[in-house]
Structure 1
Amino acid sequence: MDNFTQIFKEKKLKLTPQRIAVYKYLMSTKEHPSAETIYNALQEEYPTMSLATVYKALKVLVEVGLIQEINVGEGTFRYDGNIAPHPHVHCINCLRVDDIEGISFSFLNDEVKNHTNYNILTNQVYFYGLCQCCNNAK
């Protein structure tokens, strides 16, 4: 939380209770919630917080690099408190999104750079399939 406060001070951004709540929520889960999911989860504790406020808080947190925004192709973004580069796997049936741990694709940045004229800054890797629960149900 000290790093969080320090980043906001350095960027001269206001540290609001809503931004803190959204950040804490994302840091407390391994799930990859949408803005709507975060909004619903925080409603009881922050009944006056609007969905627009959640979206604004997420935008700021992504911009300062405290969380990452992921797009697995659902037409909506999901958010991840784990900012270390890592791939994700998405169940095409129940829409669950999980981190894939122990595999790094950071070497791809240099590989792509060697085959293009781009200076590669980052990458996001997604896999699609059926989670164990959905696979067992079929």
Structure 2
Amino acid sequence: MEKDRMALETYETVLEHLRNKHIRITETRKAIIRYMIGTSSHPSAEVIYKDLLPDYPSMSLATVYNNLKVLVDEGFVTELKLCNYSTTYYDFLGHKEVHIACENCGKIMDFLDADIRDMYQEASKQTGYKVTRSQVMLYGLCPECQAKEAEI
């Protein structure tokens, strides 16, 4: 229940922010926001489109990309671009965590790094920048790909 309440509060916060910026709130935009808040994965625009299409048959892939761009521009969604992959993946409010991606299958996981605040402070101290967000990506092999490799 707590997670549902937090998701609803987050959803309302995003909508309020967009309204305050005079950004149109369409049904597809609301659906994409709900989708991004509710997913624990890092979907591509194509995955979001495929998942939402049954409920929004008039929605186009371009609509998904345009909505994701708005959410990226407003700081609610982060783009994740993996080395050796042309697909862009998206993460809702993912700029305070570290991502790890499988070099083989492209699966992305999050983990919280307790030292990331220290990294922000050190970066500020050395450069004079005020850090507003970060994107840290580690690469390796996920357990499933390790198991497949071990079978060979």
Query: TM-score by structure 1 length?
Result: 0.89
How far the C-alpha of 1:62 sits from its partner, in A, is: 1.3
Unaligned runs of 5+ in 1: none
How far the C-alpha of 1:120 sits from its partner, in A, is: 3.6
AA in 2 matched with 1:78: Y
Unaligned runs of 5+ in 2: 1-10
Partner residue, 2:120: 109
AA in 1 matched with 2:136: V
Using the TM superposition, name which of 10-19 and 103-112 deviates more.
103-112
Q: Which structure ranks higher in relative contact order (CA pairs < 8 Å, sequence separation ≥ 6)? A: 1
Using the TM superposition, name which of 22-31 and 51-60 deviates more.
22-31
**Percentage identity across paired residues of the two chains:** 35
Report if the CA contact (8 A) 2:77-2:94 is conserved: yes
Matches within 5 A, 1:69-108: 69-73=79-83, 74-83=85-94, 85-108=96-119
Report if the CA contact (8 A) 2:41-2:109 is conserved: yes
CA pair 108-76 structure 1, distance change in 2 beyond 3 A = same
Normalized per residue, which structure has more helix? 2
Query: Which deviations, in whole Å up to 9, do the C-alpha atoms of 1:83-123 show, x marking residues without a partner?
Result: 45100000011110011135441321221233335444322
For residues 116 and 82 of structure 1, the distance between their equivalents in structure 2, rounded to whole angstroms, comes to 25
Partner residue, 2:136: 125
How far the C-alpha of 1:12 sits from its partner, in A, is: 0.7
Query: Which deviations, in whole Å up to 9, do the C-alpha atoms of 1:21-45 show, x marking residues without a partner?
Result: 1111111111101111111111111
Q: 2:36 aligns with which of 26, 37, 41?
A: 26
Q: Which runs of 4+ in 1 moved over 4 A?
A: none
Report if the CA contact (8 A) 1:86-1:103 is conserved: no
- Report the RMSD for the aligned CA atoms in angstroms: 1.7
Report if the CA contact (8 A) 1:32-1:80 is conserved: yes
Aligned residues: 138
What SS does structure 2 have at the residue aligned with 1:13? coil
How far the C-alpha of 1:75 sits from its partner, in A, is: 2.5
AA in 2 matched with 1:75: S
1:8 maps to 2:6? no
For residues 77 and 116 of structure 2, the distance between their equivalents in structure 1, rounded to whole angstroms, comes to 19
What SS does structure 2 have at the residue aligned with 1:106? helix
